[in-house]
Amino acid sequence: MENQQLTTLETITLGGGCFWCLDAVFRRVQGVGRVECGYSNGQIHNPEYEQVCAGETGHAEVVQVEFDPQQVSLEQLLAVFFSIHDPTSLNQQGADCGTQYRSAIYWSEPEQLPRILAVMTQAKEGFQRPVVTELAQLANYWPAEPYHQDYFAKHPGQGYCAAIIGPKVQKFQATFKSLLG
């Protein structure tokens, strides 16, 4: 029997506006095994979409990204993250306003923090305004309802998908050709 090396997968949870946008992009990254839309770092257990959108829970709309670090690094994922949303916009991405749309990085493992801080320091140099991305340990994460998962693939012609998500996906594909899965 051949000696097989087991890969330990990593998880990072990211908020950058509407989770449909992040979901559509990160599903296309090589080495990403799972992307799940969800709600994170709020106050209540098992929130529902309507509660989160109303600003009643303190949760951010996020994607939880599970990836193989031998195929794509945390640093590469964060480079994608900083390129597909505006991390200088406080609690807003485009027309989506409210704390649920905040820019956020929630780490799962403490050893991820120094790596995240290094990427954030580098990312800050690329923006004229201060980066307001929230950085915290993952807490109170809940998966979003099934109809939110892989939304763009299921509804590519829907207005928001065509006008907002499609261009983000195209930008990712043009900018990060080496990361296409």
3-state secondary structure of 26: helix
Q: Which residue has the tokens 């309507």?
A: 50
Torsion, Cα 145 92 86 23, to 10 degrees, reads 10
Q: How many CA atoms lie less than 13 Å away from 72 in the CB half-sphere?
A: 26
Distance CA 42, CA 1 (A): 48
The answer to whether 94 and 136 have CB atoms below 8 angstroms apart is no
Residue 97 appears among annotated catalytic residues: no
131 token code pair: 């980066």
Please tell me the distance from the alpha carbon of residue 136 to that of residue 85, in angstroms, as a whole number.
18
Active-site pick, 18, 21, 37, 161: 18
Half-sphere exposure of 64 (CA within 13 A, CB side): 19
Q: Which residues are catalytic?
A: 18
